[in-house]
Amino acid sequence: MKTPLLYDFDFTEFAARIKSWGEPKYRGKQIWEGIYKNLWLKPDEFSNLPKSLREKMGELLTFDVLKPVQIQESKDGDTQKTLYELHDGQKIETVVMHYEREEGQDRNTVCISTQVGCGMGCKFCATGQMGFKRQLSSGEIVAQVIYAARHLQDIGENLTNVVVMGMGEPFHNYDETLKALARLNDADGFAFGARRFTISTVGLVPMIWKFAEENLQYNLAISLHAADDDLRSSMLPINDKHPINKLLEACRHYVDTTHRQITFEWALIEGVNDTPEQAFILARKLKGLLCHVNAIPLNPTRGYHGRGAGSDRAKIFKDALEEQGISCSIRAHRGIDIQAGCGQLASRN
């Protein structure tokens, strides 16, 4: 990579770089607003700049941060998955999901990746099955959101939510992930509200403690999937290092510090973790914690043979939790026909 990525700078760094080209100070702000407010993706779109500066931008900054390789749309038209190639030939996937509301604004959510592959090795996750390749830079994370927002703008819609739940473990790439979200949250740039971001982690306990002390307004989701250590370790190897009680201790600290509700993600696997017994154990462990359980029948992947729980078993699990005072919802499958559901993303054509 000969030139730096367009989105890898915060405003101070970016303005200093533009000034180093011999340009007046105000040009930095003009270009920044073009990138983050107007969502311009090519130098030629910056019509408010002289041609000489547009040419200089094209020579000294990499605009093509992500190159679309393949775009797939689900049969219902509500989910679109894009396979992007990065500057070094590695690939990631990003998903845009549309949700219709009976009243008010429809919701458009982008699910973004933070790594090429993942080193956590979760048994039922396609990304975990491919292993860890490399970290994404903050600019490569930011670009996924900007590209999604531009796509939606071009079809007359708006981006409403960002979920950091794609390929990779965000807290394994902690600094770059938070830099990216800060850039997207910047009031003088993309200005995306903090509470419209959700970060999902498999449960890296030290990073949850650290994240709590940041006292940010981003939503936090924990991929839990089991209520006892033996079962969780059989599915999520990270549990051997960060067992459930230590994980929940960090979660309680997070809630006590931020006063924000925490979400627990639960992939319902038939006959494995969808039983009333698991629900009762989970309810005891979560008692008194400001939280919500977000369950979804397991999405199929090539490397795992477990089956997603049926609707009847999912309802029994949900009812068992709610009888014990734990809030729970069952999510519907999205984009399964194009392998765009939770746990299905991987770098493949």
- Which of 60, 76, 97 is the last residue before a domain boundary? 60
* In the predicted structure, residue 161 carries a pLDDT above the cut 90: yes
40 and 106 share one domain: no
211 and 112 share one domain: yes
pLDDT at 301: 77
Residue 78 structure tokens: 């509500």
| Structural domain includes residue 343 | no
| Structural domain includes residue 139 | yes
208 and 261 share one domain: yes
291 counts as catalytic: no
- Which of 60, 77, 99 is the last residue before a domain boundary? 60
- Quote the radius of gyration of the chain (alpha carbons, Å): 21
Return the DSSP state at 278: H
122 and 235 share one domain: yes
Q: How many domains are contained in the chain?
A: 2
- Among 93, 140, 169, 176, the active-site one is 93
125 and 229 share one domain: yes
| Structural domain includes residue 158 | yes
Q: What is the largest CA-CA distance in the chain?
A: 68
109 and 34 share one domain: no
318 and 185 share one domain: yes
Asked if residues 268 and 317 have their Cβ atoms less than 8 Å apart, the reply is: yes
**How many C-beta atoms lie closer than 10 Å to residue 332's C-beta?**
7
More confident residue, 39 or 304: 39
The CATH number assigned to the domain holding 146 equals 3.20.20.70
342 counts as catalytic: yes
46 and 151 share one domain: no
| Structural domain includes residue 325 | yes
pLDDT at 106: 85
| Structural domain includes residue 6 | no
| Structural domain includes residue 292 | yes
198-218 burial, b at 16+ Cβ within 10 Å, e below that, comes to: bbbbbbbbebbeebbeeebeb
Helix, strand, coil distribution of the chain in percent, nearest 5: 40, 20, 40
pLDDT tens track for 218-229: 999 999 999 999
* In the predicted structure, residue 101 carries a pLDDT above the cut 80: no
> At 324, phi and psi to the nearest 5?
-95, 10
| Structural domain includes residue 346 | no
More confident residue, 340 or 36: 36
255 and 238 share one domain: yes
Average pLDDT, rounded, for the chain: 92
**How many C-beta atoms lie closer than 10 Å to residue 348's C-beta?**
12
183 and 316 share one domain: yes
What average pLDDT does the segment 47-66 reach?
96
Strand partners, 261: none
| pTM, rounded to two decimals | 0.94
More confident residue, 197 or 346: 197
| Structural domain includes residue 326 | yes
The CATH number assigned to the domain holding 15 equals 1.10.150.530
31 and 164 share one domain: no
244 and 326 share one domain: yes
Range of the domain at 332: 67-338
